[in-house]
Structure 1
């Protein structure tokens, strides 16, 4: 990577994290809830994400020690337990994100139709997903990563393919299909668009990784501020364009094959030019490449994030060492193992919801922290207030959606959350607990002692 990353590289990192694999994973889930009002759901999620981005920027400008969520909590609350719990929540969010990308990778692999639907009695989707995770774990252990210039080109290529698909899809919808374009006006009622926005929230989290890489960014406070305010609206625009084209061109696919409906929409968009098959293949290849690169980049970033937590004694030493260059091997293996379990056994809806819940909690907490600093001239209280209220609204709607649509997953998520919370409290309050135990249980008297 370049010694000092500029705005172009920061934009690539932010957009790569949001558009890299999210659109291929969340679109089908969101469209099943909102149908043609998918654009409204993405817009709501984008507004809350932008408010969170403003909050991060405000805190970053006011903080002497550059960092992200964990640093902000340590700085403004001075509570290592809360800071550690925020760090663990983010780490679980990253694991959910990687599992989500891996799930979409497996879905598009199976959609090609060139491999059997089952291998040795196992469905190809979970098998391809786990193999993708294993492969990128191996690459990270070998130290492979993309250079800055290559990342700029690859992100531009991924965005370009989606924009081209969207524009050609609009041409087909207005010039060839003959059916009226549905803007979803009949689907605005109720809480469905807000619920869908909450589920899609994980797709708008890539920009916050910039705050953990500030040592390599030129004029980081200003560069990151610009990158956040440019990348989120661009990501929203791409999601809206791709989403609206897909729900109008391939509504049947959203019912029968929602997770790969983009491929069917690309087939229709290119049919007037005699390139239907080429369009479907190009979109599917783009999905494989995008989700694969998203797995690799998120695994790399989350391992570095975990290394920082290890250095601050916010993670047990047994899962890795903060010493030395590169990423801790045991940490990468652990992250890969947990991700493989998630993507093998979980549904895409459950994985997406789990990851979004993690980021809703953290982004809402950072918005609240920024709101607490409203006495500073640099902080506009309205924007972090919107971010806080939006996150508070998202959280119960997400849980209710899980409870009504996937009750088993709902109870599983609650069980995992309770277990993680208990482990976190036992770890971060271990000194206090040990003191309480010693006070309650006095030393045993030796036999014969008076």
Structure 2
């Protein structure tokens, strides 16, 4: 277990902000285009189903988080539930950390895309990459500066972006050409055309937009009353995320032609607002998107760096990453920022995002299985846990099916990434075992 902080700076508002910051990033804007292309106006319903799957996944995280109270979160839960499988614990640690690094790079890249979208540099790749590197540097500095300061800034960014995105979405619904009756009529037609399989595939893809709620557990050493605040923060954040995603999707569908949403993807809401409400509407959407990606960067850097430090404490990453100053894992934070920067410079962020998506689903499934094993200790419902295992298994199968059918080259590249990370995990697990054997021999 990680070092215990003497001061508990993070209350419920800050914890909800960390979770929402990790969830409501660039993902919803990209997913909107994919969803509308597959199931049209049924998109809000698929988002709700995705939120239900996320809630089932969260159930096991909450139960394990309250039981173990370990900032290592996903990695620590697996390691403690299956103490005789150090290599697998190391593998999960590596997968999760690089999954977070991939989303960190995506959020920064999305931020820079919006930041220059209305300037003469909108098509300049290097300007885009430079701004992405700069925003990661800024929020890395904020996280290194102060836990409390980060929490307050996260509060302001998250709750402001929710207000902005909600206002613009509601205004789009009111000023769009589509009436509520026409929207529902089109939804009924799209529902008849869409197979249950397609709706479930979209729900599985949408599940990626809920990645980030588990960042709350990484802050367990710095939060007040974890027994109450872990479940309150995670479930509240998921409900709020579902609401904002449904409102965003309906705002887009009411005001923007489906073909424009599909074509423009993450820019659909901004371009649609510009057409309906003029420059002011587009500016407000861009501001909301910048806040969304900023808070996602900050929340991910905060939570994932603590998880990385906890894994390094066990010897599965370089020892230098364990160093903390005033409970802040500075080297782990810098490591994540540096690798995210490398990914931004290399490019191929769509591939990296898909890697993070698959990783999040599979790891959530493993957490549900681990929780079922010790359900008596965590005081978990067997029925809910089995439902979570079934839902996450189905979601994992469907997203892999979708990838293989539509982007098999990307799926092959993801497999290569997994092999490289597995090799790194194997090296450090063997190194760790040798250290333990050496210590035992000396004693």
TM-score greater than 0.5 by the shorter chain? yes
Which residue does 1:240 correspond to in 2? 246
Which residue does 2:341 correspond to in 1? 340
Given that 2:71 and 2:306 are in contact with CA atoms closer than 8 Å, whether structure 1 keeps it comes out as no
Q: What is the alpha-carbon distance in structure 1 between the residues aligned to residue 374 and residue 324 of structure 2?
A: 35
Bigger shift: residues 150-159 or 341-350: 341-350
- Whether 1:365 aligns to 2:380 is no
Given that 1:36 and 1:187 are in contact with CA atoms closer than 8 Å, whether structure 2 keeps it comes out as no
Change (3 A) 1:389 1:372: same
- Whether 1:225 aligns to 2:226 is no
Q: Secondary structure at the match of 2:381?
A: coil
Residues 265-323 of structure 1: per-residue CA shift (max 9 Å, x gap) = 32355x3xxxx2101111112212321232233123322221122122121226x3435
- Whether 1:310 aligns to 2:351 is no
Bigger shift: residues 85-94 or 32-41: 32-41
Unaligned runs of 5+ in 2: 438-443
Which residue does 1:160 correspond to in 2? 163
Given that 2:324 and 2:331 are in contact with CA atoms closer than 8 Å, whether structure 1 keeps it comes out as no
- Whether 1:188 aligns to 2:188 is no
Given that 2:32 and 2:261 are in contact with CA atoms closer than 8 Å, whether structure 1 keeps it comes out as no
Q: Secondary structure at the match of 2:195?
A: coil
Residues 197-221 of structure 1: per-residue CA shift (max 9 Å, x gap) = 3333332122211112122222211
Matched length: 427
Change (3 A) 1:118 1:378: closer
Which residue does 1:59 correspond to in 2? 64
Change (3 A) 1:218 1:390: same
Which residue does 2:50 correspond to in 1? 45
Residues 120-143 of structure 1: per-residue CA shift (max 9 Å, x gap) = xx4654454344335544555666
Q: Secondary structure at the match of 1:206?
A: coil
Residues 354-393 of structure 1: per-residue CA shift (max 9 Å, x gap) = 1111111221111111222344692111222222222222
Q: What is the alpha-carbon distance in structure 1 between the residues aligned to residue 149 and residue 226 of structure 2?
A: 21
Q: What is the alpha-carbon distance in structure 1 between the residues aligned to residue 436 and residue 293 of structure 2?
A: 48
Which residue does 2:282 correspond to in 1? 280
Residues 26-79 of structure 1: per-residue CA shift (max 9 Å, x gap) = 333443333322223322221121111111222234437675222222222113
How do 1:127-206 and structure 2 match up within 5 A? 127-137=130-140, 140=143, 146-173=149-176, 180-181=183-184, 182-183=186-187, 184-206=190-212
- Whether 1:264 aligns to 2:266 is no
Change (3 A) 1:340 1:253: farther
Unaligned runs of 5+ in 1: 437-450
Asked which structure has the greater CA Rg, the reply is 1
Bigger helix share = 2
Which residue does 2:33 correspond to in 1? 28
Q: What is the alpha-carbon distance in structure 2 between the residues aligned to residue 413 and residue 175 of structure 1?
A: 40
Task: Give TM-score scaled by structure 2 length.
Answer: 0.85
Residues 157-216 of structure 1: per-residue CA shift (max 9 Å, x gap) = 111111112222222247779964532424530533322333333321222111121222
